[in-house]
Copies of this chain bind each other. A is one copy, B any other.
Amino acid sequence: MSIVVVGSLAFDSIATPSGRVNDVLGGATTYFALAASYFTQVRIVGVVGEDFTAEHEGILKKRGVDTRGIEHSKGKTFRWGGQYLDNLNEAKTDFTELNVFESFQPHIPAEYKDSEFLFLANIHPILQAQVAREMNGVRLTGGDTMNYWINSTPKELVETLKLVNVLLINDTEAKMIARESNLPRAAQKVLAMGPKALVIKHGEYGATIFFREGAFGVGRHPFRAPALPIEEVQDPTGAGDSFAGGFMGYIASQEDLNREVLKRALFYGGVMGSFAVERFGTERLQSLNREEIDARFQIFRELTHLE
C-alpha cells in the first residue's frame, strides 16, 4: 500500500551543541517520507526551487520515494535556520525564507490517486482541506498543524479537522485548539471536532493516543508509548515529522486498521523519532534497515513492558 504526503521540502541550517550544518535537505515532508519509506511506498507532493538538484532528489529516490509530485518552480527552495544551543527541546528560529513555498498550491498527480493513505503535513489548513477532499477515497488521513495556524486561521482549521482521521500534535497545540489546560479533557474536545484518534506527542516523554468512543475498536481508553532516553541527541530537527512517518508508514503497511495496529504504530513513531535525532538532518534516516528498526522496537517494548 502507498501513502501520499503533502507539505514542505526545505534546506535547513542548524546549530546544536554537537555542531552545525548548512543547507541540508529537510522539511516536514522529507523527514516524514524517509521515515515512512522503511514501511511502505511513499509519494511526495511539494514544491522546490532551482537550487534543488538531482543529488537532493537522489536522497529520496534512493529510499524508493516517489518524487513525481514534486513541483519545480523558479526561485529558491524554502529555507529555515535555527539553533538549539540553549535548549535541545526547543528550536530558536534564526531565519525563515519561504521562497517558492509561499505560493505553494498542491497538485496531486493522477498516478497518486490510487494511494490508500494520506498525510497532511503542517501547511495552511485550507490547502490541507483541498488535498483531503481531492483524496477523499483514502482509508485513513493523518494530519499535523502548528500554533501559527491555530492562532491565525482557527475557523479554517476547524473545517480541516473534520477531514482528518488521525491528528498528530504536541501538548501545547492540543491545549490551544481545545482551549483547555487539562490534557485528557483537551483530547476529548479535539476528538469531538472530527478526528477519530488523536496522537499527542510529549517530546522526550513519548506520546499518547486518545480514541474517540468506538473508533477503531471498543472504549475510549488511551494508550501511551515511550520515547527512548537518549544520551547523545545531535539534532532534534524533524523528530516530530519522523515520528509521524514511522506512525503512518507502519499503519499503511498493515492489512487491518484497528487499535492494536495504531498502538504498535505509536511505538514505531517513537522508534523513527529516536533514530532521527541521533545525527544531523536526515542523515540517520537515510541509511537504516528494517532489522535495526525492529531491534529498537524491542528496546521500546522492554522499556515499558512488565514480564
Contacts and interface: CB of A to CB of B under 8 A. Distances in A.
A264 B182 contact: no
A231 B185 CA distance: 6
The 7 closest A-B pairs by CB, nearest first: A205-B205, A184-B229, A224-B226, A184-B231, A304-B304, A185-B231, A224-B303
Nearest to A224: B226
A307 interface: yes
A306 B263 contact: yes
Size range of the chain A interface in the assembly: 35 or more
B305 A88 contact: no
Contacts of A263: 306
A292 interface: no
7 contacts: A87-B181, A88-B181, A208-B229, A221-B299, A226-B304, A304-B304, A305-B306
A302 B221 contact: yes
A307 B304 CA distance: 13
A183 interface: yes
Given A183-B229, A263-B306, 17 more contacts: A88-B182, A187-B229, A188-B231, A206-B224, A208-B229, A221-B302, A223-B302, A223-B303, A223-B304, A224-B226, A224-B303, A260-B306, A260-B307, A264-B306, A267-B306, A305-B305, A305-B306
A206 B205 contact: yes
A56 B221 CA distance: 38
A222 B303 contact: yes
A221 B231 CA distance: 12
Interface in A178-200: 181-185, 187-188
A301 interface: yes
A204 B221 contact: no
Contacts of A231: 182, 184-185, 188
Contacts of A206: 205, 224
A233 interface: yes
A284 interface: no
A126 interface: no
